[in-house]
Structure 1
Amino acid sequence: MMKCVDLFSGCGGFSLGFQQAGFEVCQAFDHWNSAVTVYRKNFKHPSFLMDLRQEKEASDIISEIQPDLIMGGPPCQDFSSAGKRNPALGRASLTHSFADIVCQVKPPWFVMENVPQIKRAKILKQVIDKFIQTGYGISSIILDAAYCGVPQARTRFFLIGHLQDKHNQLNDLFKQNLSDKPMTIRDYLGNSLGISFYYRHPRNYNRRGIFSIDEPSPTIRGVNRPLPKGYKLNSCDPQNIDLSQIRPLTTQERSYLQTFPESFIWQGTKTNLEQMIGNAVPVQLAKFVGQIICQYLDQGSGKTPTLFDLEEEFNLAQIPLHRL
């Protein structure tokens, strides 16, 4: 069983998904006390409350267990369409911290998750250069979670590294394992919600606010607001809807759309829980990625990796960023 460490672990979506894929999660790190509290309620291994800009301290702790894989989703607000898209705000530097910790510990594998907008940020090329200089072969892909066992149209970028391997070794496996059609809420939860339509607060009122359970949910965000008084259906909404019967999803229901199990323990204020659920990597999406790595190893592709010439010039344009 491969040992792994979860950086920027939040409430544990990445950890739980990799556990379900057959990995042994041994450590987790996060700097948000509320998320660490929830994480500790649901996992037995150590969870450290730590600012990961303390790279040496974190690397020393992680190196003691010699993990096979380090995973993590550095904070994405500075790249996200829901944020200000300004990498200079400071949180983007944590992407460098993730890369620096990986390059200091040098596990055989790493997995980094972020929003697709990171493709347009200089920081992505910078961290890829660090990984390549350390000896990692890189695979990169943008996945729609709805094709990976999640009832949610959530696109996320994954950068996966395997020490002393060639580039792009996992891309075909990702494509081969995607489902043929997106998963709907009804596919995943049946009729357990007791509703056919629900409200999800739009970023502005020119956008759709009413959604059906017979489609994937839009991306679960860190905010969840009630249906405003006087809300009027716009042309994007399903028509002939009785608005008196429409409600937003509850915090618990939103956790289900992030594919957390019913048994997962949530503790904290509603505001904090909504944020940590919205920030989480969907459990089944993490499981999907973990299973691809296991499949690669089971096929024997990863047992005797081929060394590539580290002297060769690489740039981001030469490493395809696949969108599925």
Structure 2
Amino acid sequence: MRCVDLFAGCGGLSLGFQRAGFDVVAAYDNWIPALEIYKKNFSHPIYNLDLMNGSKAIAAIASHHPDLIMGGPPCQDFSSAGKRDLSLGRASLTYDFANIVCAIKPKWFVMENVEQIKKSQILKAITDQFFSHHYGLSSVILNAAYCGVPQARTRLFLIGHFQDKHNQVNSILKARLSKEPMTVRDYLGDSLGIEFYYRHPRNYNRRGIFSIDEPSPTIRGVNRPIPQGYKLNSCDPKGISLNVIRPLTTLERSYIQTFPKFFKFEGTKTSLEQMIGNAVPVALARYVAEGIKIYMTQGTVHQSAPKSMVSDREEPFSLPTKPLHREFRLTDTQSYLQPRLFG
């Protein structure tokens, strides 16, 4: 399938879908540092275009005749790590993504965002828009640690298939989750040369020291050194010395995001940390792409489903509300979440 990646950043979604066998033919973003990194790592073009310019964006993207449009609209206005201020304008890019998809009508679309978007009216608004344009929807919140990524990162994926029933891909994604979360050691072995590392907490009531024998906490867009005078928290692992603890390097953080070691990252540390933190983990993107591929070839296919199948909602689509799996509390030795699927 011909794919176009919107809000592509440095290319996590693109690389994951490529590795699953999809043909990514073009990408779009308008942040210069990310555009430069993307160009160094992909042979297809990436275009500098503000996707808020609706008519121009729709005409440009439609010229590639995509079978699938994917993207992760900027999530800072929803994220627990951001300001959670919908008035800042970035949240409106989610509407722009929906407008582009509904104008072009590709067979498939995939939208990635933070879990917190489910608390906003924006998610309901765009799902209603997709309903009205005859997309069957699957909505799932995945913990990357159960999808081949050594990181406890939960993200919402909204997957649409034109003129299909709802909730068709969910069971495939659920069935393929690993039974145990992937740890940093599982993925990188002893190549980091450390047993513990520092990740700056949002406040000092939280732990800041993590073991490579657990999934990494979510990679964020900032990477701070250990502050002078930092004292171990009661929830940090016991019996360690801060003298041998360091934060992960920029490149090590890209490995936790499952970018391959040959992926070229060049630029300022600030820009690289931000684009790596904002990226969709490559292995998580591949996991979703392979789920779609399995459905296309082996699933209960409703390729010729009539439009009334969607508009009448004979098989209602469920927005994320309650997890199917119990959520674990964070402890010293268990800093990850169980898989969480919805719909």
Structure 2 length-normalised TM:
0.91
Structure 2 unaligned blocks of 5 or more: 324-339
Q: How does 1:246-265 map to 2 (within 5 A)?
A: 246-265=245-264
Alpha carbons 1:166, 1:307 under 8 Å: kept: no
Partner Cα distance (2:311, 2:26) in 1: 34
**1:21 is matched with which residue?**
20
Single out whichever of 52-61 and 264-273 deviates more from structure 2: 52-61
CA distance in 2 between partners of 1:156 and 1:313 (Å) = 26
- Residue 67 (structure 1) aligns with: 66
State the one-letter code of the partner of 1:89.
Answer: L
Instruction: Quote how far apart the aligned CAs of 1:236 are.
Output: 0.8
Query: What per-residue deviation string (whole Å, max 9, x for no partner) do you get for residues 155-214 of structure 1?
Result: 000000000000000111111000000000000000000000000000111110000000
Deviation, structure 1 residue 31: 1.2
Aligned residue identity for 2:35: V
Considering only aligned residues, what root-mean-square deviation do their CA atoms show, in Å?
1.5
- What is the aligned partner in structure 2 of residue 6 from structure 1? 5
Q: Deviations over 1:88-147 (max 9, x none)?
A: 221010000000000111100000000000001001011111111111000000000000
SS of the aligned residue for 1:266 comes to coil
Give the Å deviation of 1:303: 6.3
| Alignment-derived partner of residue 139 in structure 1 | 138
For 2:261 and 2:229, locate their aligned partners in 1 and report how far apart those are by CA, in whole Å: 34
Q: Secondary structure at the match of 1:5?
A: strand
Amino acid at match of 1:34: P
Retained in 2: the 8 A contact 1:166–1:305? no
Q: Within 5 Å, which residues of 2 pair with 1:1-324? A: 2-299=1-298, 301-302=300-301, 304-309=303-308, 310-312=310-312, 318-321=317-320, 323-324=340-341
Shift of 1:84: 1.5
Query: Counterparts of 1:311 and 1:181 in 2: how far apart (Å)?
Result: 39
Q: Which amino acid is the alignment partner of residue 217 of structure 1?
A: S
Whether contact under 8 Å (2:10, 2:37) holds in the other structure is yes
CA distance in 2, matches of 1:65, 1:319: 32
Contact 1:201 1:227 in 2 (8 A): yes
Q: Is the 8 A contact 2:134 2:311 kept in 1?
A: no
Determine the C-alpha separation between the residues in 2 that align with 1:46 and 1:99. Answer: 22
CA distance in 1, matches of 2:188, 2:311: 51
Aligned equivalents of 1:163 and 1:302: distance in 2? 12
User: Is the contact between residue 166 and residue 308 of structure 1 (CA under 8 Å) also seen in structure 2?
Assistant: no
- AA partner of residue 312 (structure 1): D
Query: What SS does the aligned partner of 1:180 have?
Result: coil
Q: 1:305, CA displacement in angstroms?
A: 3.8
- Letter of the structure 1 residue corresponding to residue 312 of structure 2: E
Where 2:265 maps in the other structure, the secondary structure is coil
- 3-state SS of paired residue (1:123): helix
1:230 Cα deviation after fit: 1.5
Relative to the length of structure 1, the TM-score reads 0.96
Distance 2:92 2:251 in 1: 32
Offset of 1:320 from its aligned partner?
4.1
Aligned equivalents of 2:54, 2:184: Cα separation in 1:
40
Cα gap change, 1:138 to 1:60, in 2 (>3 Å):
same
Is residue 297–residue 303 contact of structure 1 (8 Å, CA) maintained in 2? no
Once the two structures are superposed, what CA deviation does each residue of 1:227-280 show, in whole Å capped at 9, x if it has no partner? 112211111100110110000000000000000000000111000000000000
